[in-house]
Structure 1
């Protein structure tokens, strides 16, 4: 299915970018891409967003396995019949796998995308994180529009 291909492509991009950062930059090193806006900053994370639950790897292993199971189940049962849902699940699958692989093989997640919005330094993130956020937004949009369709019918 095309939705698994989306997940594989996102996973490939995520893992290649993390490999490049981990092998070519020291932790804390920063490269300016767009002054005062976008930087590549080599960072590591043993928790979730904003380092919450730092060091609780067992928790993230369990959550990742559950999410992967649920996403694959819904991809097989529903996603194949609803393209928008399938795409959103593909993004979620790719993002979940990307960070799960990091946790298993590195013991931490490699983060490197660093955005500054004015004086605010947004927490450093990666392609997998972006994939997850995009997937969840698409899933919310799907749920919103499907709910409205159901009410009309």
Structure 2
């Protein structure tokens, strides 16, 4: 099947844009938010600057290099998976999901290697959820979309393979 170069170019542009957006939000936050929490929705949502030297929920504290290297490996796996996605048009949704995952992985990876920590700033105070950032949102949304995609959208593709 013919490779759609235009689609791959758009996915590359989207990847760069999403990564840039993540880094831009972190730059703005680091310029204006340190020591100045902002309550967006009272008792629900705040902007709160945090330097996270670990992973989610503060695990692996001071594991910056290990987590950074792990992020690079994951990014490599995502790129490899992207190259293996069938060229069929109906798999464009999967390409988009992988693009989101890659942008999230790279966004936090840049932080780890550049700053020695990940800049987190979105805090859902109503449930005392760990502080997170835009890259984390990409990864979370992509994970949810992957579950949806393989449970519903591409389910028949795997059932066909099992029968063959």
Answer whether TM exceeds 0.5 for this pair: yes
Deviations 1:17-74 (A, max 9, x none): 1001111222x53101111111111111000101100101222122111111111111
**Which blocks of at least 5 consecutive residues in structure 2 are unaligned?**
1-7
Q: Distance in 2 between matches of 1:140 and 1:73?
A: 19
The 3-state SS of whatever aligns with 1:114 is: strand
Deviations 1:97-130 (A, max 9, x none): 100000011110000011123xx21111000000
Instruction: Give the structure with the higher percent strand.
Output: 1
1:151 maps to which residue?
159
2:139 maps to which residue?
132
Among residues 34, 37, 45, which one is paired with 2:44 in the alignment?
A: 37
In structure 2, the CA distance between the partners of 1:80 and 1:47, relative to structure 1 (3 Å rule), is farther
Q: Distance in 2 between matches of 1:100 and 1:72?
A: 15
1:74 maps to which residue?
81
Question: Highest Rg: 1 or 2?
Answer: 2
- 1:52 paired with 2:77, answer no
In structure 2, the CA distance between the partners of 1:149 and 1:79, relative to structure 1 (3 Å rule), is closer
- Assess if the C-alpha contact under 8 Å between 2:75 and 2:105 holds in 1: yes
Among residues 109, 112, 118, which one is paired with 2:118 in the alignment?
A: 109
- Assess if the C-alpha contact under 8 Å between 1:85 and 1:139 holds in 2: yes
1:16-27 matches, cutoff 5 A: 16-26=24-34
Q: Distance in 1 between matches of 2:158 and 2:26?
A: 42
2:3 maps to which residue?
none
Farther-moved stretch of structure 1 (3-12 vs 141-150): 141-150
1:5 maps to which residue?
13
Deviations 1:79-112 (A, max 9, x none): 6541111011010000001000000111100000
Farther-moved stretch of structure 1 (51-60 vs 75-84): 75-84
